[in-house]
Chains A and B, each alone.
Chain A
Amino acid sequence: MIEYPEIDRYAALDSLLHRFDPRAKIIAFLFLIFSVVLIPDLKIAFIGFFFAIFLLILSGIPLAFVLGYLKWVAMFVLSFFVILAFTFPGEELFNFYFLSITAEGLYTGSLITLRAFSAVILIFPMIGTMRFDTTIKALDRLKVPNSLVQMLMFTYRYIFVFVDEFQRIWTAMESKGFKLRTTLYALRTIGKALGMLFVRSYERAERVYQAMRSRGYTGNPKTMVEFEIHVKDYILAVFIVGFAISLHVISFLGVV
C-alpha cells in the first residue's frame, strides 16, 4: 500500500502552535526559515538548529513522524555534505589516495547540512500544526496570488485521488502476474501504466472542470473562513521574528 503524503496528520493536536493564528504563524515561520538558511556561522547555525527542535517539541508533533520525512532530506543533504567535504579547496585534514578532506569543506558542509535540517524541521511546526486547507486559506488571506492558491488547493485535493488511481492500476498489473524487474518488458509495462495514469488524470481534470462550472466556477473560487488574531498571536510572532533577527545580530556583532 502506498502511503498518502499527509503532512497535516497531527493537525488535530492541541499546542501553543496549533492555536497560533494561521496567517501570523506562516509569516513568522517563513521569516525564521529564511533567517536560518542565511546564517553564515556554524555556531549560530547550531543555535538555530536547536531553536527549530525546540519549536518542533513545542508543537507536540511526534518525532518519529518527522524523522520519517527527514530521512529523505538526509539522503539528499548528506550526499551534498560528502561532496563538499571532499571538493572544497582549503587546508587538507586527511587524504586517501587522490581524495582529500579540507577543514573548510568540513565547515561549509556542516553549515549547509545544519541549515537545511533546521529549515526542513521548521516546516513541521509551521504547517503540520493546522489542516492543510487552513494553510491554503491563510495564504489566500495573505494575498498570495489566487492562481497559486488554486494550484495548491487542487493539488492537495487530487494528490490522494491520484495515489488511489495509481494503486488501482498497480494492483491490476500485479494481479496479472507482473513483477517489478529491470527487464525491457517490465520497463515497457511500467511505461504503459504511467501512460494510462496520465490519460486518466487528463480525463479527470476535464470532468472536474465540468463539475466546477456546473456550480458556478468562473475563475477564482472563494472560500469562507474565520481567522481571528489576538494579542497572544502578536506576542508569539514577535518572539519568533525577534529570535530570527537576533541570530543575525549576534553573528554580525561576533558575540558568539
Chain B
Amino acid sequence: MREAITIKNLSYTYSEDTRALESVNMTVHEGERIAIVGPNGAGKTTLLLHLNGILHGTDGQVEVFGKSVDKVKREEIIKDIGLVFQDPDDQLFMPTIFDDLAFGPINLGLKEDEVRERVEKALLTLGLSGYENRCPHHLSYGEKKKASLAAVMSMEPRILVLDEPTANLDPRSRAELIEIIKGLNEREGITIVTATHDVNAVPTLADRVYVLNKRIIAEGTSQKIFSDVELLKENNLEVPEVFKLFEVLQCFGYNCEELPLSVDDAIEHLTRTVETEGGHIHLHIHKHTHDQVRKLKDKYEHH
C-alpha cells in the first residue's frame, strides 16, 4: 500500500507558552481510515492544518503521497487532500451553496461544464440536490455540515480530512454523516482521517486510532485503544457506551474475549454467541455479579 500521509517529527508552537505539537510521527496508508482522538486543546486541529500546508511546522515535515507539503505549490497538495473544517460557517464562505461547491473546482482550473458536473455529483453524494441556490444562513446545522463536506468533495480529493465531523449534530444527521463518510471510503477508496473526541463514532469511522495529546500517546486498532481504560482516563477520553454495556454483560456471565465497540460489532458479536451457544444467550446473577458491577462503575466514575 502507498503511503498517503507521512508525518515525521512534527512540532509546532503558536507562541512561547503554547506548544501545540511535540514531535508527532504518523503514517496513513492509501485507503485507510484513521481517527485522531484527544481531548479539547490536544492539538488535533493544529495537526490537520499542517496536512495541506496551511500551517508549517516549526520542526519536522509532512508528506502527502511522497510530496513534501512545504516544498510543493499548494494547488498540487489540495488536489489530493481535502480538509473539512469543524465549523460549517468557516467552511461555507460563498453567498450560495452552488458558489461554494464550485469554488474549489474553479480554482483547480477546471472548465465550466466540468465544474458544473462536479458540483452536481457532490450534491448528489451528500443528498443535497436542489440546494444549489440556497444561502448557507437558511440551512440547518446538519445541512450546513453536509454542504461543507460537499464543498470539499467537489474537488474529488483522494484523502479526506475531517475536523470533528460529528460535533453538535442531532442523532439523525450524525448517523447520516457517518454513513456518508463510510461510504466514500468503501465505494471510492478515499482515505479518511478524522479528528474527533466523539469516541462513540470512532469504531465505525476508523480502522486505526492515534491518541494525540500534544504528542502521540498511543496508536493501534480501536479494539486495542478502547480496551485501555487507564490510557483513556489519563487523556480525558470517554469509553464507547457499547463497550461499557458489554462489560456489564460480562458481569452477568456473558462470555466473550473481545468486546464490541460499535452497534455493528455488537450485532455481529451477539449473533456469533447465540449460534455457538446453541440458540440462546445465557445471563445470570452469580455471587460475584454485584461486586463486579460495583467495581466497573467505580472504574468509569471519577472521570
Contacts and interface: CB of A to CB of B under 8 A. Distances in A.
Nearest to B152: A215
B93 A154 contact: yes
Contact of B93 (A131, A157, A218, A222): A157
Nearest to B51: A214
Chain B binding surface, main DSSP class: helix
B165 to A, nearest CB: 15
Given A208-B93, A224-B102, A214 B83 contact: yes
A251 B111 CA distance: 52
B103 A213 contact: no
B37 interface: no
A66 B112 CA distance: 38
Contacts of A223: 94, 99, 102, 106
Contacts of B49: 210
B191 interface: no
A210 B84 CA distance: 11
A153 B95 CA distance: 7
A218 B95 contact: no
Q: Which of B49, B85, B94 has the most CB of A within 10 A?
A: B94
Chain A binding surface, main DSSP class: helix
Contacts of B106: 221-224
Contacts of A168: none
Interface string A80-115: 000000000000000000000000000000000000
Interface string A117-152: 000000000000001110010000000000000000
Nearest to B116: A224
B21 interface: no
A216 interface: yes
Contacts of A249: none
B272 interface: no
Is the interface on chain B under 10, 10 to 19, 20 to 34, or 35 or more residues?
35 or more
Contact of A131 (B85, B102, B133, B136): B133
A252 interface: no
Contacts of B74: 213, 216
B70 interface: no
B225 interface: no
A4 B175 CA distance: 31
A208 B94 CA distance: 11
A33 to B, nearest CB: 24
Contact of B104 (A161, A207, A216): A216
A79 B75 CA distance: 56
B135 A161 contact: no
B122 interface: no
A211 interface: yes
A197 to B, nearest CB: 15
Contacts of A132: 95
Contacts of A217: 103, 107
A171 B69 CA distance: 43
Contact of B94 (A153, A164, A207, A214): A153
A215 to B, nearest CB: 4
B266 to A, nearest CB: 37
A211 B93 contact: yes
Q: Which of B98, B104, B108, B135 has the most CB of A within 10 A?
A: B135
A160 interface: yes
B185 interface: no
B78 interface: yes
A224 B137 CA distance: 21
B146 to A, nearest CB: 16
A224 B100 CA distance: 11
A207 B107 CA distance: 19
Nearest to B92: A157
A138 to B, nearest CB: 12
Contacts of B264: none
Interface in B79-133: 82-83, 85, 87, 89-96, 98-99, 102-104, 106-108, 112, 115-116, 133
A212 interface: yes
Given A131-B133, A157-B94, A215 B85 contact: no
B5 interface: no
A204 interface: yes
B135 to A, nearest CB: 7
Given A160-B137, A215-B78, A215-B107, A224 B115 contact: yes
Closest 10 CB pairs of A and B: A216-B107, A133-B95, A160-B137, A215-B104, A207-B90, A214-B83, A161-B89, A210-B54, A211-B90, A211-B91
Given A214-B54, A215-B104, A217-B107, 15 more contacts: A131-B96, A153-B94, A157-B95, A161-B89, A204-B87, A210-B54, A210-B90, A213-B54, A213-B74, A214-B52, A216-B74, A217-B103, A223-B94, A223-B106, A224-B98
23 contacts: A131-B133, A133-B96, A136-B95, A157-B94, A157-B95, A157-B137, A161-B89, A161-B137, A204-B90, A207-B90, A210-B90, A213-B54, A214-B85, A215-B104, A216-B78, A216-B104, A216-B107, A217-B103, A221-B103, A223-B94, A223-B99, A223-B106, A224-B115
